[in-house]
A and B are shown apart, each in its own frame.
Chain A
């Protein structure tokens, strides 16, 4: 059976991609942030996962308000990135996967999740920045990616508890897949931040660190929050914690934390990254 070997959390803010493109990673502003990634890259290099399930949100590249899925699952052999309107460089196509993807689709529907199943979607910075961070120089095309998109832009949004349960259902689907693939799961975005309104700019570093602790040892405690709670505690875009919870839901074994970094502010956010092992 296929095996989920671990989970990675990371920010996906566009400024990270722009900093990499402009060679700013060693500057004082960025150094402590980028110093958090070599241990994760080394682990990926050693473990050589075949497939990455990436939980992300679409910020208005593919999924406009006209037809916006609550949960969407990619089942395509390839995913293109494209112009997002404000200047982040477009990256080469991302390799997809069609066998485990369809197995997950079947298993999710069988277990009462009904995602929108996508055979042709563009993926935005929510997915491409994490890939670029893990594989600098766009050396990610050997990795087969299964995108799972979660609505974090328009209310009503799926609840934290539901996102965690979605992850659990995906984790079980992977375990029931006949194959010997090694799978890693990415939870992207976050942590605390608010881009809109007079309250723009709030960051809650204490809460972010608590989330990172709980994500390891007691993720169910985080599922007790509502999205309204997250808005109040972590800012309007603090709801991106939902992608981290979905990732954590996939890890059904004994979970240990191998690495962590947290830096704030990066752009307008508290930027956390973690490497979790699933045994």
Chain B
């Protein structure tokens, strides 16, 4: 059997067990590709979560906009990005939420690792 490396700190590897745990949650977020679905979700978030069979913990994390908790409960960032989009958040906002920074602080962190910008 191949030995798997332990994931680095602060990294949840989206693998089979996580994908199993998060299937309904990710399926709900996948539905947000459809504009009508996004509107239906906004009208009654809890009912929309129930329609997809989310667990109570997943539903609470959706209502609390707790992105990290959603990842721990099997959410894939690619599908959670669609949820974030419904909330009007971009990937810097989401980065800030996950790292305990404001969006501006998160952008500054990104810039601190920067290279190759002469005009920025």
Contact with B along A64-94 (1 / 0, CB 8 A): 1110000000000000001111110000000
Which of B35, B91, B109 gathers most chain A CB within 10 Å? B91
Q: Give the docked Cα–Cα distance between A60 and B25 (Å).
A: 13
Given known A-B contacts A29-B120, A64-B27, A232-B5, A196 and B98 have beta carbons under 8 A apart:
yes
| Interface status of A278 (Cβ within 8 A of chain B) | no
B interface residues, tally (CB under 8 Å): 55
Nearest-Cβ distance from residue A235 to partner chain B, whole angstroms? 8
A180-237: which residues lie under 8 A (CB-CB) from chain B? 194-205, 226, 228-229, 231-232, 236
Contact with A along B71-99 (1 / 0, CB 8 A): 10000111111101110001110110011
Contact between A84 and B5, CB atoms less than 8 A apart? no
Q: Which of A66, A236, A264 contacts B114 (CB 8 A)?
A: A264
Contact between A199 and B11, CB atoms less than 8 A apart? yes
Q: Give the docked Cα–Cα distance between A82 and B32 (Å).
A: 12
Q: Give the docked Cα–Cα distance between A1 and B57 (Å).
A: 58
A interface residues, tally (CB under 8 Å): 47
| Interface status of A156 (Cβ within 8 A of chain B) | yes
Q: Give the docked Cα–Cα distance between A202 and B85 (Å).
A: 22
Q: Give the docked Cα–Cα distance between A83 and B34 (Å).
A: 7
| Interface status of B44 (Cβ within 8 A of chain A) | no
| Interface status of A263 (Cβ within 8 A of chain B) | yes
Contact with A along B20-34 (1 / 0, CB 8 A): 000100110110111
| Interface status of B115 (Cβ within 8 A of chain A) | yes
Q: List 8 A-B contacts (CB under 8 A).
A: A60-B33, A85-B33, A196-B98, A198-B100, A203-B113, A232-B8, A263-B117, A264-B114
15 more CB-based (< 8 A) A-B contacts, given A84-B33, A265-B110? A15-B91, A28-B119, A29-B120, A59-B81, A60-B29, A60-B33, A155-B15, A195-B95, A199-B10, A201-B95, A205-B114, A229-B5, A232-B5, A264-B115, A265-B111
